[in-house]
Structure 1
Amino acid sequence: MSNDLTDIEKAAILLISLGESDAAEILKHLGPKEVQRIGEAMSRLDNIPQSKVESVVSNFLEVVSDQTGIGINNDRYIRAMLNQALGEDKAKTLIDRILFTTNTSGLDTLRWMDPRQVAELIRFEHPQIQSVIVSYLEPDQAASVLSYFDENVRLDIVMRVAAMDQIQPQALQELNDMLETQFSGPRSTQLAKLGGIKSAAEIMNFIDTQIEVELMESMRSVDEVLADRIQDLMFVFDNLIDVDDRGIQVLLREVQTDMLIIALKGADSGLQEKIFKNMSKRAAELLRDDLEAKGPVRISEVEAAQKEILTIARRLADDGEINLGSGDDMV
């Protein structure tokens, strides 16, 4: 009954069923991205049948009833749960952050802040501190933070993020002290995974297109090999051609036609044909006609529409509804 719902939609239905106060208590324990995604799912819910609500609640109770010995082997449970939900590659960094005894609440607080506030907070800090903070943020928030710096600072931070691999927990503790937060629990002697070329590429994916082009050109002039490695890991609009047909169909259900028309004005013919192929014959004919009838569109408008569609695609990938890429896990 509830198999046609995503996990995020199930969570939204469950929280609405619990009522405001209980739902609020649960949301307090989630991160900003999770709260945002569940909130968006809640806003999209409309006329959900009672039978579907009962099915979601019933499934939840079944899962809970299977969990025994709360507090025993929590580390193993958390690892197994996240590996199953996200896959080993995606889960590794998150697992490290959760299971480290070092408290990084100060950095977590930054994830709730407006990007402009974060930028102002770290504007006069050492570039290495800036790069640690940027690499710790979610890629879209990190990209927004970078937009408030000038080109030279952006270049320095992104290259430092790409060069970063691990950071001593003591360094995280000192950073949290700087942010006026209090630590609890013993220090971990493990190294925390943070930054790296993939992290830099994910941040670049969310940067405004014009800034992205300028940043890549500057980076290429400093380190062409590094720039190429980051470019190879970035997921751009034309890469949608690598998404399977089912994934394209799921994506098209989430994209408004007007936005799609503008985005396709700047796409190559191969990607356009892939889009047409995954629509009904009538819908494809209408889209072709609309594309031909559409007058000249500013490049900035095309890029903005493509970025918006990519944002939707990444959300669907995060929800496990589509797979981006042809093998490498990009998001």
Structure 2
Amino acid sequence: MAEAAVDNEVWNEPAGEAVPKRKISSRTKLTGKEKAAIFILSLADEDVKKILDGMQEDEVRELTRTIARIGSTPQDVVRAVRQEFLDRFELQQFDVRGGMNKVKDMISKALGKEKARQFLKELQQGPKNTPWEILNAMEPTLVATFLSNEHPQSIALILSQLQVEQASYVVDYLISDVQQEVILRMAKLGSLPPGALEDIEESLLTELEALGATRGGYAKEGGGGVKKVAELLNMMSRDLSDKLLAYLDEEDNPLAEEVRKEMFLFEDLLLMDDKSFQTLLREVNNDELLSALKGTDDRLKEKFFQNMSERAAEMLREDLEMMGPVKVADVESAQQSILKAARRLEAEGAIVIMGKGTDDVVL
């Protein structure tokens, strides 16, 4: 739609209901909000209801305000807006990868975090043979309660054997002082000699018998150390990981710096070369990208824009402009999802993230 001067006029309304309306013509340059309003107005009532039901209150308020200002719209403008919507839809990247991680994402959005964990338990089959399998399947709140009377060193050893995501949830439910001690001790854990965890395993199995555990197998050697703590902090909320890093700084600054070098934060995406960045973008869906970029600094936004087609970048800018407030937790969740994709691609050798860890890159 070519740019042109905008015609504005006040249309006749019943007394007390005068609304300044914008007269739309084929020469009018529409804003993103106006395009959304015109698209909504072109839909059947039942479809409009479904869309509005999925929007936040402030988004509905902004949309209805825009609709109230729009007068009669020519059919060629309506067709152009609907065509642009279809173009956006076709340009969107869809992640159709299956697996348990996808199941977790889907049911977490549909059921909420707590119900999703319970649902995932029902998907798991077969008996749990080791205490680590049992603890990984338990609610994190129960694991935290179960470990509450243990010494921080024992908790550090136990958590070092759990899946990173589960361990991060458990740490979140520990009291603040214990969190700090456990993270510090985990960071200092080195490789353990064979059999070092056997006594702990036997003791845990005895205490977990009520849950139907069966004996068999031993924990892997090691499991702690700087890398494990970095992975753990990456999974936590930014607020909690910052607090625990600050504590590590006070207790052992060189150790804290080692942990930082192993950590991978959303801002570190700036370190990626353009080819790697474009590979990552193909793995990210539009909704996650929008939430992740909400509130990020301009440098990182530009990094995304520069690695997209001009049209896709323009659409993303418009979507960000139209987007209402987003919960911090939702922003962090979206960023973590993108970081998980980046870590997976790096492990597969598909991308290179320069400047993190100890592996140097020769260009």
- In the superposition, the TM-score normalised over structure 2's length comes to 0.56
Look up the match of 2:86: none
Give the aligned partner of residue 134 of structure 1: 159
TM-score by length of 1: 0.60
Residues 329 and 124 (structure 1 numbering): CA distance in 2 closer, same or farther, change over 3 Å? same
Number of the residue aligned with 1:269: 298
Residue 156 (structure 1) aligned with residue 181 (structure 2): yes
Number of residue pairs aligned between Structure 1 and Structure 2? 235
Q: Identity across aligned pairs (percent)?
A: 36
Q: Please state how far the C-alpha of 1:282 moved relative to its aligned partner.
A: 0.2
Task: Answer yes or no: is 1:202 the counterpart of 2:231.
Answer: yes
- Counterpart of 2:196? 171
Cα gap change, 1:317 to 1:112, in 2 (>3 Å): farther
Does the 8 Å CA contact 1:317/1:324 hold for their aligned counterparts? yes
Task: Single out whichever of 253-262 and 279-288 deviates more from structure 2.
Answer: 253-262
**In the aligned structure 2, how far is the partner of 1:184 from the partner of 1:282?**
55
Partner of 1:70: none
Counterparts of 2:101 and 2:347, CA distance in 1: 10
Per-residue deviation, residues 141-186 of structure 1 (Å, max 9, x unmatched): 211111111211111111000000022333311011012263579x
Name the counterpart of 1:118. 143
How far residue 304 of structure 1 moved from its aligned partner, in angstroms, is 3.5
Alignment of 1:180-329 (within 5 A): 180=205, 182-183=215-216, 192-295=221-324, 297=326, 299-318=328-347, 321-326=350-355, 328=357
**Distance (whole Å) between structure 1 residues aligned to residue 346 and residue 317 of structure 2:** 27
Alignment partners' CA distance in 2, 1:182 and 1:143: 26
The 1:131–1:184 alpha-carbon spacing in structure 2 relative to 1, beyond 3 Å, is closer
Letter in 1 for 2:339: L
What letter is aligned with 1:168? P
Assess if the C-alpha contact under 8 Å between 2:261 and 2:357 holds in 1: no
Amino acid at match of 2:331: V
| RMSD of Structure 2 on Structure 1 (CA) | 3.4
1:77-108, CA deviations, whole angstroms, 9 ceiling, x for partnerless residues?
A: xxxxxxxxxxxxxxxxxxxxxxxxxxx93334
Q: For residues 280 and 328 of structure 1, do their structure 2 counterparts lie closer, same or farther at Cα, with a shift above 3 Å needed?
A: same
Of 105, 111, 119, the match for 2:130: 105
What is the letter of the counterpart of residue 36 of structure 1? M
1:36 aligns with 100
Tell me the SS of whatever aligns to 1:287.
helix
Give me the whole-angstrom Cα distance separating, in 1, the residues matched to 2:276 and 2:165. 22
- Change in CA separation of 1:201 and 1:264 when aligned onto 2, cut-off 3 Å: same
SS at match of 1:147: helix
Question: Within 2, Cα distance between the matches of 1:244 and 1:304?
Answer: 24
Give 1:281 deviation, angstroms: 1.2
AA paired with 1:205? N
CA distance, structure 2, for counterparts of residue 216 and residue 38 of structure 1: 30
Structure-1 residue corresponding to 2:172: 147
Change (3 A) 1:115 1:319: farther
8 Å CA contact 1:151–1:215 kept in 2: the answer is no
List alignment gaps of at least 5 residues for structure 1. 1-7, 13-34, 44-103
- Superposed CA offset, 1:230-269 (max 9, x none): 1222100011122333432333233332332232233333
Moved more, 312-321 or 213-222: 312-321
Larger radius of gyration: 2
Question: Secondary structure at 2:196's aligned position in 1?
Answer: helix
CA distance in 2, matches of 1:252, 1:206: 21
- d(CA) in 1 for partners of 2:312 and 2:318? 10
1:179-208 Cα deviation digits (max 9, x unpaired):
2263579xx9xx933311111111110011
